Amino acid sequence: MSISTNYKWNSSYLRKSVQIYQFNCLKCDNVLIDSSQISSVLDMPSEIWAEMMDFWHCHKPESKTNYADKFSSLKPEKDGIIMGAYYVAFNIDDGIYGVTKVSNNISCTKCSKSIGEYDPKVKLDKVFNWDLVFKHHGKEELFKPYFHTYDILLDNVNGNATRILELTNEDESKSILVWIFNIGLDVIIKGVGMKKNCMKLYYTTDRSNIGEERKNRGEIDQVTVLDSILESTILQLTSINERLPKSTREMGKNWKLGLLYKEE
């Protein structure tokens, strides 16, 4: 099985394609990470794997140990950063980052907005991609939290052949059930324009619908994601659904049509 490291901001994109860059605070434009001070850039290859372990480990207990060993031994060099699927990880004690840590919360030193957290599992400080603006060569790139959902779904189709997946938030109070139909579609969306590499899917956030589908299908694979990722995914899918022709918006009584893509 191959797990994608095709993240939007992965190490080879930073080191080879972009080379000179800054990650700034999205709110106040404070420079948080400056490539001129960075000694090395690595990928966190197991990120999506990590999230899928929650449901895999009950079927494949042997993977859990290997995964944990691999994860805990991953450390950046001094002044080095590690690119995750939806965050940048580093050691704040290197003293070159524009962030402040109070207990486990990471905030922008200039505007004090909370933009990340210390992750005791990997013993690294993290800032979330959606709180950053990536600047290079006079350009700016942003990252929406639902980009990560796209990666999770794509990895599940490619690696697991799973087309139905439930994404839940951390306390399992909210979830979305997704059924992936097509990937790699170019679609013109009313009021949005042409979007490439869209994923066509049906979804529901209704608890009783999800319960009914689970009952009919037996087991449904679950992935836990951050609240912000789940909220952003639901908002984006709902907003796209409302732009689709009325006759195509629903399938049966349980499913709504949505499109997901990794562009703004």
Binding interface with Zn ion (CB under 5 A) = 25, 27-28, 30, 108, 110-111
Q: Smallest distance from the beta carbon of 30 to Zn ion, in angstroms?
A: 4
Written as six digits, the tokens of 102 are 């109070």
In a 10 Å sphere around its CB, with 0-12 CB exposed, 13-18 middle and 19+ buried, how is residue 20 labelled? exposed
Between residues 108 and 230, which has the closer beta carbon with respect to Zn ion? Answer: 108
Tell me the C-alpha distance between 240 and 150, whole Å.
15
Q: Smallest distance from the beta carbon of 140 to Zn ion, in angstroms?
A: 15
**What is the full DSSP assignment across 76-143?**
PPTTEEEE-SSEEEE-GGGS-SSEEEETTEEEETTT--EEEEEETTTTEEEEEGGGEEEEETTEEE--
Q: Smallest distance from the beta carbon of 28 to Zn ion, in angstroms?
A: 3
Tell me the C-alpha distance between 230 and 168, whole Å.
7
Between residues 99 and 176, which has the closer beta carbon with respect to Zn ion? Answer: 99
Between residues 134 and 150, which has the closer beta carbon with respect to Zn ion? Answer: 134
Written as six digits, the tokens of 109 are 């030193």
Between residues 127 and 260, which has the closer beta carbon with respect to Zn ion? Answer: 127
Between residues 45 and 116, which has the closer beta carbon with respect to Zn ion? Answer: 116
Q: Smallest distance from the beta carbon of 87 to Zn ion, in angstroms?
A: 16
Question: 68 in helix, strand or coil?
Answer: helix
Q: Smallest distance from the beta carbon of 106 to Zn ion, in angstroms?
A: 12
Q: What does DSSP assign to residue 159?
A: I
